Structure 1
């Protein structure tokens, strides 16, 4: 009886971790169309990419400060500041800034071609930083799932542009955004078991507040801005930068960063679903077919990943 209970508890935790990962990804998925609304395009600019990046972090930082005070959260220990600092560089500055600049040039569908690589890059970073291991079948599923997402995104991009997919300078920004986000996610996950999922993102945002708050005031727009741009800005500040990480970091901690990171394979498809009401894009059968195929790879990769007993600890002291 005792053995059954102990076996069932980790399994339930992993399942909960996967669902929390999906919830976090759902919040993050809407970031693409909302960022597009906030920044506008090169022809019709709204909020500047720098203001969106630093302003959303400042908004999340103020909310985080309130949360930490209300919950009387203790300060992180000395060895935890490094991973928190890496999360600041990756999730507060690197990813949103590079994404915002790229989305002024390319469409959300085009951006999905590159950001679809995020799950595979996150898994590679997790294996390197957290010393996690998985069977070869896991990596095959990760590669197949990523290839499906990239293929689907390329098809959509070519349909929207009326031609082939060309690699341009904005794609380099998106590659940098993927790398930055991956490191931010994994370093944040490294200290989640000790600090708690909610406190990790809160400390990350508060740590950046001395920079982001005054910069937001200085960069406050002087020209009229569309209401839709402000809606996009508030969303990326409250949900993309704050609440989404509550679910995401908790999911990484419970389910394992290697496995839960694969739920990001769903992100391009959720972005497309969100873009239907936000950007007026149409939903077609090809989208649903590719989404179903990617879901299968996520499920299989979870089954092929290593057992909980063999998994290396998520939190490691430097």
Structure 2
């Protein structure tokens, strides 16, 4: 098997692991009428345990240590990907089902492109901005049709998208100097002075189901750690441009996984809006973006 093909298969494996994050988080936190693990505990606990695994990996691979100039980017990446995204997602999933969340968070690739264009002072084309506006409009329309109004949960999901986008862009700057695996590991390790006390403070006071603990174990081991290794290795083997397109199927896979894992029903409206968001992201990522003179 040539490296490009292997990269595509690894990329699909990584996206499949990430696609399970939404239904597994819903399983871990439970709905409002049957709460399971506290969202803050799921957020901090999964990062704390993944941080231990990351520390072992960094020691075994003799990874270079971060310098003082790396700390701001590491802090921003941690705030977005370790704390912000999983916390806002967990809080939202107490109020809406996994399918609803999968449609809204399907905007993440486009949201990341928007944040990157602002942070890097790029000049996206009018077509790019049109796709961005259309994508957010589709999500707002879906939320209105699904719930009759824009709810607090929809706001939390958009905050989750923004948090992850900011964290990804900051981490990408670090990946220019380190391997991407080392970036996520250092982000998790340096977050441990915060994540371990938070996990201890938010330890569940009520018993949770075995299924909820299973969801927590999944997002700890696969969503927070192993999934990144598969994904970054795929990008290295198959090329970023080619492999990153596989990520477009992630929202659709999340919808499918929510059926057997949570027993949710996939209706026509949810499916159509998900496909529309995926198509908008696909077109938007192909619109020209003018780099600043220094980058050129």
TM-score bin, normalised by smaller chain: 0.7 to 0.9
Residue pair 2:100, 2:270 contacting (<8 A) in 1 also: no
Q: Structure 1 30/146 Cα, relative in aligned 2: closer, same or farther at 3 Å?
A: farther
Q: Is the 8 A contact 1:138 1:301 kept in 2?
A: yes
The 3 A distance-change label for structure 1 pair 145 and 223 is closer
Task: Supply the RMSD in Å over aligned alpha carbons.
Answer: 3.6
**What are structure 1's unaligned runs of at least 5 residues?**
1-11, 159-163, 314-318
Deviates more, 1:184-193 or 1:206-215: 206-215
Indicate if the aligned counterparts of 1:265 and 1:294 stay in contact, CA closer than 8 A: no
**In the alignment, is the contact (CA less than 8 A) between 1:135 and 1:306 conserved in 2?**
yes
Deviation at residue 113 of structure 1 after TM alignment: 4.8
When residues 231 and 211 of structure 1 are mapped into structure 2, their CA distance, relative to the original with a 3 A threshold, is same
* Normalised TM-score (structure 2): 0.81
How far apart, CA to CA, are the structure 2 residues paired with 1:294 and 1:30?
19
Partner of 2:114 in structure 1?
Answer: 124
Distance between the aligned counterparts of 2:198 and 2:223, measured in 1?
A: 20
Aligned to 1:201: 184
**Is the contact between residue 109 and residue 281 of structure 2 (CA under 8 Å) also seen in structure 1?**
no
The 3 A distance-change label for structure 1 pair 21 and 79 is farther
8 Å CA contact 1:119, 1:146 repeated in 2: no
Q: Equivalent residue of 2:96, what SS?
A: coil
Alignment counterpart, residue 254 of structure 2, candidates 271, 291, 312: 271
From the superposition, tell whether residues 75 and 276 of structure 1 become closer, same or farther in structure 2 (CA, over 3 Å). same
Give 1:1-318 correspondences, 5 Å limit.
24-144=14-134, 147=137, 157=146, 164=148, 166-248=149-231, 255=240, 260=244, 265-283=248-266, 297=280, 299-305=282-288, 312=295
User: Is the 2:99–2:270 contact (alpha carbons within 8 Å) kept by the matching residues of 1?
Assistant: no
